[in-house]
């Protein structure tokens, strides 16, 4: 079981992205610690799951300043060798160019050091605490999510300070973009799922309102149709069977976990959501092609082959909905939970059929 430590000192957009990484690794059985530099007032509105927060404090009196210029060569080698992975590639190139030009030969001010030290001081670095050893010195992944507006401070100056102090580097620094919108305000108007989905899949294009409509129209429509048909045609009991023509859908569901994991390892949130959405698209196509309502009509007229095929089609579609619930969990956890609840067969039957996205107003 790996230890995964993810931190951010950035705005709400960085908190959401760090939250996705934390949820993904928890889901995969890793031990996860998620640190925020603030106790965000948007924690509930944005469905954030950080374990802890810390208000940065200045270094203790008497600590020597760390000059950074001497660390440029070692830091460049760490980036070149992949010991410090900076993502995406554009940010990595910018950092390498900055290092080639040299780091400033001056100590960082206390105010800057306070923020940069937060990921380690929160673990008890100053007192050599057990959490510092467990999560930093012995951790498998140390991931820092930062806004591009503070790129050099967090991808060059902070790692140089760590090298100068003899502290292991983070394994990954993920550089993101804050689009200048108040996600908390948007979430209170549109809900956490719509805002998270927009940020992770569509931003900066489109709107939160449009993203909020995409979920009920396509995702809600699929899950509602599948569960309603199982209630109507099979007395709420999930059928079994396999359909040869569902091979494409089965393959998409089978490959999704690996592809989502690869995308999130590369901090490509849009690609990760694309891989999840492929399940919904393929399931919707399969639903339209197989027309289970026609199979149900044929079964009522005495066609036993149609009944067996209906079992196989509905079983394939239900499996796809369950795969969606699993893969959506890091991104839109509230919706993922509701899908899982509607598709769970407690005591052999599905829960009562309720719309995934109840209409309001």
For residue 20, how many other CB atoms are within 10 A of its CB?
Answer: 26
Report the alpha-carbon distance of residue 42 to residue 23 in Å, rounded.
Answer: 17
Contact between residue 307 and residue 315 where contact means Cβ atoms under 8 Å apart = no
- Look at residue 361 in the predicted model and tell me its pLDDT: 40
pLDDT value for 10: 78
In the prediction, which pLDDT does 59 show?
Answer: 55
In the structure encoding, which two tokens stand for residue 64, read together?
């020597």
Long-range contacts of 212-221 (CB under 8 A, 24+ apart): 215/332, 215/335, 215/357, 216/356, 216/357, 218/280, 218/284, 219/280, 219/324, 219/335, 219/339, 219/356, 220/355, 220/356, 220/357, 221/284
Element housing 22 (H / E): helix 12-27
Closest residue by Cα to residue 72 from 176, 196, 159, 170: 159
Which residue matches tokens 């059929």?
A: 353
The pLDDT of residue 56: 58
**DSSP H/E element including 163:** helix 158-164
Domain annotation for the chain: domains and CATH numbers:
3-176 (3.40.50.620), 191-350 (1.10.730.10)
Encode 166-190: b = buried (16+ Cβ within 10 Å), e = exposed. Answer: ebebbbbbbbbebeebebbebbeeb
Provide the whole-model pTM.
0.93
Helix/strand/coil percentages in the chain, nearest 5: 60, 10, 30
The one-digit pLDDT tens for each residue of the chain (361 residues) are 899 999 998 789 999 999 999 999 999 999 999 999 777 788 899 999 998 887 655 555 555 556 778 899 999 999 999 999 999 999 999 999 999 988 876 666 665 666 678 899 889 988 888 999 999 999 999 999 999 988 888 999 899 989 988 999 999 999 998 888 889 999 999 999 999 999 999 998 878 888 888 999 999 999 999 999 999 999 999 999 989 999 999 999 999 999 999 999 999 999 999 999 999 999 999 999 999 999 999 999 999 999 999 999 999 999 999 999 999 999 999 999 999 999 999 889 999 989 999 875 4
* Tokens of residue 18, six digits: 């760090």
Question: What SS3 state is found at 5?
Answer: strand
- For the chain, the straight-line distance linking the first and the last C-alpha, in angstroms and rounded, comes to 47
CB 313 within 8 A of CB 290: yes
Q: How far is CA 203 from the centre of its chain?
A: 15
pLDDT score at 46 = 93
Structure tokens at 201: 């899949």
Query: Which is nearest to 120 in space by CA: 50, 87, 167?
Result: 167
């Amino acid at each position: 079981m790996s230890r995964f430590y993810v931190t951010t000192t950035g705005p709400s957009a960085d908190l959401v992205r760090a939250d996705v990484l934390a949820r993904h690794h928890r889901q995969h059985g890793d031990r996860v610690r998620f640190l925020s530099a603030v106790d965000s007032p948007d924690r509930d509105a944005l469905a954030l799951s950080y374990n802890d927060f810390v208000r940065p404090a200045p270094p203790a009196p008497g600590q020597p300043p760390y000059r950074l210029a001497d660390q440029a060569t070692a830091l460049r080698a760490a980036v070149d060798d992949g010991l410090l992975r900076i993502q995406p590639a554009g940010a990595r190139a910018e950092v390498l160019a900055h290092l080639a030009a040299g780091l400033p030969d001056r100590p960082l001010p206390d105010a800057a050091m306070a923020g940069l030290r937060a990921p380690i001081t929160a673990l008890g670095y100053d007192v050599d605490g057990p959490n510092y050893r467990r999560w930093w010195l012995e951790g498998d992944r140390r991931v820092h999510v930062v806004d591009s507006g503070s790129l050099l401070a967090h991808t060059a100056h902070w790692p140089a300070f760590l090298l100068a102090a003899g502290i292991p580097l983070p394994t990954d620094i993920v550089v993101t973009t804050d689009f200048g919108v108040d996600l908390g305000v948007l979430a209170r108007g549109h809900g956490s799922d719509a805002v998270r989905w927009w940020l992770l899949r569509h931003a900066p294009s489109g709107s939160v309102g449009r993203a909020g409509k995409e979920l009920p129209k396509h995702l809600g429509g699929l899950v509602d149709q599948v569960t309603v048909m199982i209630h109507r045609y099979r007395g709420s009991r999930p059928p079994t069977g396999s359909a040869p023509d569902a091979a494409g859908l089965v393959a998409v569901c089978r490959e999704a976990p690996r592809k989502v994991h690869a995308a999130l390892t590369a901090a490509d949130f849009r690609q990760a959501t694309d891989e999840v959405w492929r399940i919904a698209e393929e399931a919707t196509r399969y639903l339209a092609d197989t027309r289970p309502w026609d199979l149900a009509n044929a079964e009522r007229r005495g066609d036993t082959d149609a009944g067996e095929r209906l079992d196989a089609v509905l079983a394939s579609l239900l499996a796809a909905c369950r795969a969606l619930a699993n893969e959506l969990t890091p991104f839109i956890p509230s919706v993922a939970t509701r899908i899982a609840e509607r598709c769970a067969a407690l005591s052999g039957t599905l829960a009562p059929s309720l719309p995934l996205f109840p209409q309001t107003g």
